[in-house]
Amino acid sequence: MAEAHPSTIEAKAGALTLAKLLKIERIEKRPLKECMKILHSAVFPVAYKSAFFEMIYANNYHGMNLQSLFNGILVGVICARLELDKGAQQVAPSVGGESSSAVGGSMEKFDASGEVEKLSGALEALAIRPHAKNSSASASNDLSFRCYIMTLGVLPQYRGIGIASALLQQSMANLEDFVRLRNEASTQPGKPKEKMRIREIALHVQVDNKAAIAFYTKRGFAIVERITDYYTSIEPKDAYLLTANFPLAHEAAAK
């Protein structure tokens, strides 16, 4: 009988330990808002406004906003939002001043006024707008969105064991389920034929954040643009815009 390689045994043991100790759940408990604020301040180089935290609690209908607990300790988070798709190069607003995303941080200027209302209107239209006569379910009738990852981070002492990967994988899986259920509902009598689709996943990363860039490129993201003076309160100020196709391949997200 062939003997198992020690590294294989260690990898399997590590996976079993992570599965046993790691819990990923939706961010829904407002009493824990202070804990979420502390986590963000420990992981990201940006001070988040209260509006950001209110937004991730109040607008988690898609299930992309998740927190991770390792042996009962809050250690990681992913927060994302849907934007009406206005083109690959569009930098849409985000809530709460400068928002930060990536395994080490990327940021975006954000003013939520009007964006949530526009998005809610588009989603509501998918659910309640009646059929137009002789309408067809062609791609031109689809309502297109972009998924923007605002924050994805893990406390330094818990990095390198797969927590960020698990958060990304579960968040994108939840979005897939949300889109599927929305589109299934649109096929019911009296419902619109327009389908919801996600064109891409996007985020920003500081140009010197090699760990975050490596994390995302390994998982199917590509650098599409360098934005000068993207950041206002940290150095360097330049950022890379990274995008990936949706749905994100499960094997890529899990790497």
By annotation, the residues acting in catalysis are 148, 204
Pairing between β-strand 73-84 and β-strand 143-154 as defined by DSSP bridges? antiparallel
Q: How far is CA 166 from the centre of its chain?
A: 12
CA atoms within 13 A of residue 137's CA, in its CB half-sphere: 11
Distance, in Å, from the CA atom of 250 to the CA atom of 255, rounded to the nearest integer, reads 9
DSSP codes, the chain: -PPPPHHHHHHHHHHHHHHHHEEEEE---GGGHHHHHHHHHHHSSSPPPHHHHHHHHHT-TTS--EEEEETTEEEEEEEEEEEE---TT-----SSEEEE-SSS--EEEE--TTHHHHHHHHHHHHHHPPPPTT----GGGPEEEEEEEEEEEE-GGGTTSSHHHHHHHHHHHHHHHHHHHHHHHTTSTTS--PPEEEEEEEEEEETT-HHHHHHHHTTT-EEEEEETT--SSSSS--EEEEEEESSPPHHHHT-
